[in-house]
Amino acid sequence: MARILILTPQLPIPPQALTGLSQGTTIRNFNLIAGLAKHQDIDLLTFADSGAPGVEELRAMLPCQTIVSEPTPARTLALRARDTVLSRLPDMALRLESRLMHDHLAQLLREHRYDVVQAEGIEMAPYLLDAAVRPRPASDGVPWPRLVFDDHNAEYVLQQRAFLTDARRPRRWVAAAYSLVQWRKLAGYERRVCGAADRVVAVSEADREALLRLMPGLFVTVVPNGVDLSFNRPGSVAPADGMTPHALVFTGKMDYRPNVDAVIWFADAVLPLITAQVPDARFYIVGQQPHARVQALAGRPVITVTGRVPDVRPYIAGAGVYVVPLRIGGGTRLKVLEAMAMGKAMVSTRLGCDGFAFEDGREVRFADEPAAFADAVVALLRDRGRAIALGQAARGYVEAHFGWDAIVPRLEELYA
């Protein structure tokens, strides 16, 4: 049994406890930690947002030996703008910088003999780099902890895609300039972090290949995202009130830039083509902290912006088609696995399901252009038998490949 210190950017809250607060990284972190804790001793060093459950509540949910938390640092837009111009570090490397967190890390490393120190996502990479440069203890036959970097996205690729998307629209040139700067900074920083780690984890083969482009010869292990097959299953909840068979649903954290771009593109370019053929179709944008650009969509009669909800599953359950109109981003998306586990017919851009080996027409329908996307959605709304069959195939594929019980052992192999 190994003793492992895991560093997370937020409390790893189980979706069963607070679905409305959960996002992809918290769900992944919770399930990895819960699975590892069956065979390993886990300590947790994390940031805790206001309104999240306290350490004692979390301890009842998550079997960690020690939980140390600090409030999430506040960082103003003005400070981010200054650092974009003056700092050599990318925004993500500065987002959770905390002297107190570095002190906690130093104390834990002094007090415990860890076999592994694992950073979840690039926002926690500064603490992995901190551990990498700390003086090794006096020789007493105890090895220094193995350093593991779990890169939830190939982040430089996300910013590269954001730049290429926004550069085509003059109104988005300021955002494009930001992404260009972050792309360049992240490429160097992500390379540095991967080089400092003893083991690197990617969530998909596509992300693994992206990291290898940064560092040819880097040893990267793929440990994909998974899904709770019991919690997310067909019939687990009733549809949300008022949803019709022609409801179209997207779920996600709605201040996250790829999600904002996705729903605006869908609302502007795709949805009018759908409603011209299916007039009672309605688009539900479900998720916390909707950006002002997303909130503005709520003024359209065929669009509902829910904001934070206690549970996203009733909206997924009520979807005639679940849509994934993502044009920028990286990694493998938990929203895709959750909707598939609930047996939903899905239409996605190919980027939206990047990292998954899905086949067009078998588990999902792919479309990248507005007219093709709209036609795929309309076809499924009109042919419920086909939609049901697609959802059943999706559920079967997820059952076979993406249960957490099958995924956690892949991570444990790195500790051997």
What is the DSSP secondary-structure string of 142-204?
PPPPEEEEEESS-HHHHHHHHHHHHTT-GGGHHHHHHHHHHHHHHHHHHHHHHHH-SEEEESS
Query: Residue 185's pLDDT band (boundaries 50, 70, 90)?
Result: very high
| Within a domain: 240 | no
pLDDT at 385: 96
Residues 165 and 266 reside in one and the same domain: no
pLDDT over threshold 70, residue 157: yes
Distance CA(121)–CA(24), nearest Å, equals 11
Helices (H), 205-330: 205-214, 257-265, 271-275, 292-295, 313-317
Query: Mean pLDDT, to the nearest integer, of 257-261?
Result: 91
Give the percent of the chain with pLDDT over 90.
Answer: 62
Return the minimum-mean-pLDDT range out of 42-56, 143-157, 293-307, 346-360. Answer: 42-56
pLDDT at 81: 84
Residues 16 and 32 reside in one and the same domain: yes
pLDDT over threshold 70, residue 17: no
Residues 129 and 114 reside in one and the same domain: yes
Residues 188 and 307 reside in one and the same domain: no
Residues 130 and 32 reside in one and the same domain: yes
Query: Mean pLDDT, to the nearest integer, of 246-270?
Result: 94
Which residues have CB under 8 Å from 381's CB, separation 6+? 245, 246, 274, 278, 281, 320, 321, 387
Q: How far from 159 is each of 23, 92, 358, CA to CA, in Å?
A: 20, 11, 25
5: its two tokens = 């210190």
By three-state DSSP, how is residue 282 classified? strand
Query: Residue 59's pLDDT band (boundaries 50, 70, 90)?
Result: low
| Within a domain: 121 | yes
Q: How far from 285 is each of 237, 238, 260, 380, CA to CA, in Å?
A: 19, 18, 10, 19
Return the minimum-mean-pLDDT range out of 24-28, 153-157, 245-249, 303-307. Answer: 24-28
Sheet of 66-71: strand order equals: 66-71, 41-48, 3-8, 116-120, 146-151, 199-202, 220-222
pLDDT over threshold 60, residue 149: yes
Query: Residue 142's pLDDT band (boundaries 50, 70, 90)?
Result: low
pLDDT at 137: 58
Give the range with max mean pLDDT: 287-291, 330-334, 354-358.
287-291
pLDDT at 74: 87
By three-state DSSP, how is residue 253 classified? coil
| Within a domain: 221 | yes
Distance CA(372)–CA(377), nearest Å, equals 9
Contact criterion met (CB below 8 Å) for 183 and 163 = yes
b/e per residue 126-161 (b: at least 16 CB within 10 A):
bbbbbbbeeeeeeeeeeebbbbbbbbbbbbbbbbbb
pLDDT over threshold 80, residue 60: no
Residues 316 and 410 reside in one and the same domain: no
Contact criterion met (CB below 8 Å) for 116 and 169 = no
Distance CA(97)–CA(100), nearest Å, equals 9
pLDDT at 140: 57
Contact criterion met (CB below 8 Å) for 151 and 190 = yes
The vertex-396 CA angle with 393 and 401, nearest 5°, equals 125
pLDDT at 318: 97
Query: Mean pLDDT, to the nearest integer, of 133-140?
Result: 63
Contact criterion met (CB below 8 Å) for 6 and 41 = no
Query: Mean pLDDT, to the nearest integer, of 143-172?
Result: 88
Q: How far from 235 is each of 230, 247, 313, CA to CA, in Å?
A: 11, 17, 10
Query: Mean pLDDT, to the nearest integer, of 394-406?
Result: 92
| Within a domain: 258 | yes
Residues 301 and 161 reside in one and the same domain: no
Helices (H), 266-312: 271-275, 292-295
Query: Residue 416's pLDDT band (boundaries 50, 70, 90)?
Result: confident
pLDDT at 51: 55
Residues 182 and 69 reside in one and the same domain: yes
pLDDT at 141: 58
Give the percent of the chain with pLDDT over 70.
Answer: 92
Which residues have CB under 8 Å from 334's CB, separation 6+? 24, 27, 28, 225, 227
| Within a domain: 311 | yes
Sheet of 247-251: strand order equals: 303-307, 282-286, 247-251, 321-324, 346-348, 365-366
| Within a domain: 236 | no
Residues 98 and 207 reside in one and the same domain: yes
Query: Mean pLDDT, to the nearest integer, of 111-119?
Result: 93
Query: Mean pLDDT, to the nearest integer, of 75-92?
Result: 88
Residues 55 and 148 reside in one and the same domain: yes
Number of domains in the chain: 2
pLDDT over threshold 80, residue 135: no
Query: Residue 19's pLDDT band (boundaries 50, 70, 90)?
Result: very low
Domain hosting 125: range is: 3-226+404-415
Q: How far from 356 is each of 329, 330, 334, 385, CA to CA, in Å?
A: 14, 11, 11, 25
> 309: domain CATH number?
3.40.50.2000
The mean pLDDT of the chain is 89
pLDDT at 383: 97
pLDDT over threshold 90, residue 271: yes
pLDDT over threshold 90, residue 21: no
Residues 154 and 265 reside in one and the same domain: no
Residues 272 and 361 reside in one and the same domain: yes
Tell me: the pLDDT tens digits for 220-237?
Answer: 999 998 998 999 999 999
